[in-house]
Amino acid sequence: MPSSMTQARNGEYHHHWPSDVGIVAMEVYFPAQYVSQEELEKFDGVSSGKYTIGLGQTRMGFCTDREDINSLCLTAVHNLMERNRVPPGAVGRLEVGTETIIDKSKSVKTVLMRLFEASGNTDIEGIDTTNACYGGTAALFNAINWIESSSWDGRFAIVVAGDIAVYATGNARPTGGAGAIAMLVGPNAALVVERGLRGTHMQHAYDFYKPDMSSEYPCVDGKLSIQCYLGALDKCYQRYCHKAEAAAIKEGVTERICIDDFDALCFHTPYCKLVQKSFGRLAFNDFLRDPSPDTTQGGRYCGLEGYRESKREDTFFDKVLEKAAMACSKADYEKKTKPSLHMATNVGNMYTPSLYGGLASLIASSSLDGLVNQKIGMFSYGSGLASSFFSFRVSKDSSQGSPLYSLHHSLSDLQKRLESRACVAPSTFAEAMKLREDTHHLAKYTPVGPTEALFPGTWYLTYVDEMHRRTYSRTDGTIVTRPQQSESSLTSIPAKKAIVSPAKMANTVPVV
């Protein structure tokens, strides 16, 4: 295996990046039951359309006491490896992004190591990464950085983002959800992270936080949360555009980056209506950056002419601007972003997996040929706050057996899986939430939720002993295996393609 650094004749060192690093495969998991938002409106005694139109939500997935953050991530990672035939020894990094904390010391990652016990592979870097809904993105960035560093030993990384989003009875409860998404990360990927194109904004804010360690419920300042989200979007998008424009200049091209440069745009989705407003916000940013904006009737920025000198921070709650920006960007929103909201409207806010549920929805709703070489913009946000805007470039290779072909095929059953869930009455949902509230911290405790309705291949909680030690089991059932990919793309990374630091060559776990 060659080193990632080779010495040039003049004594300087040059880095040989692995090619096309990004997401090779994905596995999506959501609970096997949901509550109808329309029925929940009636149950809660609120006006018709408050949840379904005002929030843009249709269904909300939820967990019984049989599932916790450990079981969600066990299910997603196990199914990812099983469906894609990933040998345990081919994994060199595993990192979890979550804000669902059930232990203040022991990480979810260490629980996931039970999946590797039989193989004897304990040489797996990474632990948990936490900051509200941003942890999954931070874990993905860490995985990318590991592969593009001298620490990489030629193996895959796995990133899993998972959460259970629950709220106390009241206005916030319908914005809950649950799920986990595992991603196989490596070179020659289906979805390539565009190197150097990343705009980040970090700030101290108390918009959403969980200071009560005895409760699953957050403290939320709703108005501040929206202000922080939109403000972070402004800053991240501006910084991304500046970096992309600077990179173009180095290539001899002068261009102004705007929405037109993206074939699709995915957003962190607390609720779907906010995403439509956020897309309009990008159009407003483009309008402010355009030296000659067309504000005529039927023009691209029609209705925005009065906001040319506006400061972004003064417009977060300007309803006239919001409506105008949404109107002038509606056609682009319908094409570039709405297809990504299918999981969000049917499962709810999954917190850390939310953005990647949007990515999975986009892929599932697109034709294979329509995905080739597309540029996908991604906005990740976590309260507190941490945020980034980055992008993927979809692989040009859609041939049978390629990572893109297999990724697209693996998500083709997403709608069927969503429809296979059980719809439960709002009263049953409320009882499940009360049971979680009363028991999520108990020891000793035996869960009482049924296991018969769980999807095949689902890990679930069986017992919590008097020392809070948790025991899990897995449902029986056949896990459908994905189509066999080429050896070089999934089963292993051939030695001739692996990039390993010379100091680590002797200690590399064999890829089997």
To which H or E segment does residue 251 belong?
Answer: none
Decide if 112 contacts 434 (C-beta within 8 A): no
444: preceding bond cis by omega (within 30 degrees): yes
Mention every residue, 6+ apart, whose C-beta is less than 8 A from residue 307: 284, 287, 288, 315, 321
Is residue 268 part of the annotated active site? The answer reads yes
Say whether 228 is catalytic: no
User: Is residue 441 among the annotated active site residues?
Assistant: no
Quick one: which H or E segment has residue 146?
Answer: helix 135-147
Helix (H, G, I), strand (E, B) or coil at 185: strand
State the alpha helices, DSSP H only, in 319-478. Answer: 319-328, 330-336, 342-347, 354-365, 368-371, 403-410, 414-419, 426-439
* Cα distance between residue 121 and residue 113, in whole Å: 9
DSSP class of residue 337 equals T
Write down the catalytic residue from 63, 133, 236, 266.
133
Cα three-residue angle 169-352-190, rounded to 5 degrees: 145
Half-sphere exposure of 160 (CA within 13 A, CB side): 35
Question: Does residue 459 contact residue 66 with C-beta atoms inside 8 Å?
Answer: no
- Name the catalytic one among 268, 272, 322, 342: 268
Where are the extended beta strands (E) located within 339-385?
Answer: 375-382
Partners of residue 220 on adjacent β-strands: 208
Bridge partners for 26 per DSSP:
183
Distance CA 368, CA 351 (A): 28
Report, as residue numbers or ranges, the catalytic residues.
Answer: 99, 133, 268
